[in-house]
Amino acid sequence: MANMIANISLFLNSSNITMENSVPSRTAMYLGAGIMLIALLLGLFGNILVMVVILRRKDISNIIHIFVVSLCINDILNLGLNNTLVTASYMTGRWPTGMLGCELATHFTVILMGSSLWHTGLIAIHRLVVVVFNNFYKKISKKGYTIFLLVFCRVVPLLFLCQPSLGHMSHYEAKLLRCVVKKNYGPFTLLVTVFLMMIPSILLIICYIAIFIKVHQSSQAFRAYRQKEWLKREIQITKMFGMVFLLIMIGYIPYGIVRAIDKTLSYDADFYVAITVFFAVANCFNPVIYGVMDRQIRKACFEALHVRTGADQASPTFHNKETMTNHTRMSIDMDETTAIPLKPTSNNIHEEDS
């Protein structure tokens, strides 16, 4: 009898320990919820501000900024839907909607993450076409070309909704305080990884390598035409969208790696709180990149907020073609001085805002 009582006591103690470790501590939950809420509000404000000033200011309307607006829309949807639900889950300790909301949140996460990565991949292809294959770029319809890129980067992720199991693929994981894809849908997860993460990432890396090679070769060949300013401009545009890509990957990779390693969710629940908060905060920083690396966007945002600053003289401006002469269309000097001819010919180089 004594042994039986001891075994029952041991079982109850071990069960209590398991239950305690199966959900995050209240301190971790509330701290994580507070950080994510602040990041969520700032992210929504920043993305809406950037989107509105670009749409309202015709003088800064160009293809580069159309891509920025499209990324802002993606971020607003992600923050307004996914991050809001996860933050609410951290605040209450349970999922705020039913299973339908759980299923929708899981698929929206996949669609919006894939769309953001395909945005960066296709923007890299756009940069490659403009810099390396400019003769081809001059011949195509800029409007049709831009629409094709924007539609493609949204249609590809949406194709993952075309499956018979839709509506029964997700479940709420109390330890993660969020909805995830069920374990028996491994092929789906693999396809998402390959087509929505790996392929656009590989395309981006290849295109950016080709761009930097081309820029380096051009700068070596045309030193007499102030190639340093042209080089600065090309690298700056490429770096801005490259930073957007890195921010997406930096936010997702730690969470993705941990989930791939810890398939049984044996790690401490508070640890998952930390990497989830890191992921959520990283999703909110794109407006900072646009403001830091694009002087026109930063200046327009400051003007919209009635903030005066004299620090906007050092970073590049992505000009609108309506404000450019034939000479400056050949290449735009980022310090607003004389433009840089890329080739000693009369052919104009068509830039992103053409």
Cβ of 241: how many Cβ atoms within 10 Å?
25
Residues 278-298 have pLDDT tens digits of: 988 888 888 888 888 888 899
234 pLDDT exceeds 90?
A: no
Boundaries of domain holding 176: 24-291
What is the pLDDT averaged over residues 38-67?
91
> What Cα–Cα distance (Å) separates residue 236 from each residue in 134, 142, 157, 232?
18, 22, 29, 6
302 part of a folded domain: no
Contacts of residue 315, defined as CB under 8 A and 6 or more positions apart, other chains included, come to 236, 292, 293, 294, 295, 298, 334
341: helix, strand or coil:
coil
How far is 42 from 169, CA to CA, in rounded Å?
Answer: 32
Stated pTM of the model: 0.79
331 pLDDT exceeds 70?
A: no
E strands of 96-191, at which residues? 170-173, 178-181
Q: Percent of the chain beyond pLDDT 70? A: 77
CATH assignment of the domain containing 110: 1.20.1070.10
Domain count for the chain, please give it: 1
2 part of a folded domain: no
Q: Which of 315, 339, 316, 343 is nearest to 328 (CA)?
A: 339
Alpha-carbon Rg for the chain, nearest whole angstrom, is 24
Q: Percent of the chain beyond pLDDT 90? A: 41
Residues 165-174 have pLDDT tens digits of: 888 899 999 9
172: helix, strand or coil:
strand
37 part of a folded domain: yes
Structure tokens at 32: 């994580």
Q: Of 274 and 252, which is predicted with more confidence? A: 274
244 part of a folded domain: yes
Sign of the Cα torsion 309, 303, 315, 248 reads positive
167 part of a folded domain: yes
Task: State the residue for tokens 């403001």.
Answer: 291
Residues 74-122 have pLDDT tens digits of: 999 999 999 999 999 999 999 999 888 999 999 999 999 999 999 999 9
pLDDT of residue 230: 62
179: helix, strand or coil:
strand
Residues 293-327 have pLDDT tens digits of: 888 899 999 999 988 765 544 444 444 443 333 33
Contacts of residue 146, defined as CB under 8 A and 6 or more positions apart, other chains included, come to 63, 66
191 part of a folded domain: yes
Structure tokens at 236: 């700056």
38 part of a folded domain: yes
140 part of a folded domain: yes
